Amino acid sequence: MSLILSIDTSTTVCSVALHRDGAVLACFELFTEKSSSGMLTTLIQNVVHQSGHQLSELDAVAVAKGPGSYTGLRIGVSTAKGLCFALDKPLLAINTLEAMAWQVNGFYPVSYALCPLLDARRMEVYCAVYDSEGRERVLTSAQIIDEQSFADLLAQQTVVFFGNGAAKCRAVLAHQPNAVFPEQVIHPSARTVGQLAALAYREGRFESVADFEPYYLKDFVGTKPKKLVV
């Protein structure tokens, strides 16, 4: 038996879920800009208490480790680690893209490959490719999208591109007969983070609370400060 609180702040969508043995008891999601920092603790309190539980009853805390928004990942991981320290609970970390693939798995033929994409500015995306059994066929990476992207894979099978970075692929790959683009944007969600976390919990795949860091995938690149003219 496991009662796991899951957090996903990889994008501007902030979500929190509570699962018992992989079955969702409650899930709260906010689709507003910059919601993570201001509302995350409130969502955590609501999802636990409205499920009839207390934070002290948790067996573990899970977090989407990235890739994704630098700021969002820092907020989510810091909050998860803080809860683990305060409650003396283990930490579980789930790849954001893997959890996204879990959302659409079962909605397409088993022969299709699943390619979750997160926007990484300009024509770059964070992406990976999974098969229908959740196995990672193409490792998580940052890719610049052009007409040759995923050419080898598309030559072999149908690929479903989804997530908030899919529009970049659609702009250059929509003509490909093996490229499928769902009409609805698929956002990362704590609902599937919790399902995968239940598997990780049973297998004992815990993280070091003290040392764990978000999976940023690439170094942060900020804008150069403007020179002060006096």
- Domain 3-95+187-203 identical in fold to domain 97-180: yes
The pLDDT of residue 124: 95
CA 63 to chain centre: 9
Compute mean pLDDT per 10 residues along the chain, 230 residues long, and list them: 95 95 96 73 94 97 96 95 98 98 95 97 94 94 95 96 96 96 95 98 97 84 38
CATH assignment of 3-95+187-203, among 3.40.1380.10, 3.30.420.40, 3.40.630.10, 1.10.10.10: 3.30.420.40
pLDDT in tens, 143-184: 999 999 999 999 999 999 999 999 999 999 999 999 999 999
CATH number of 97-180: 3.30.420
Say if CB 161 and CB 173 are below 8 A apart. yes
Euclidean distance between CA atoms 217 and 140, whole angstroms: 8
Asked if 43 contacts 28 with a C-beta cutoff of 8 angstroms, the reply is yes
pTM, two decimal places: 0.91
> According to the model, what pLDDT value does residue 36 have?
63
- The single-letter code of the amino acid at 194 is G
**Domain boundaries along the sequence of the chain:** 3-95+187-203, 97-180
What's residue 228's pLDDT?
A: 35
- The overall longest dimension of the chain from CA atoms, in Å, is 65
Q: What is the pLDDT of residues 200-210, one digit of tens each?
A: 999 999 999 99
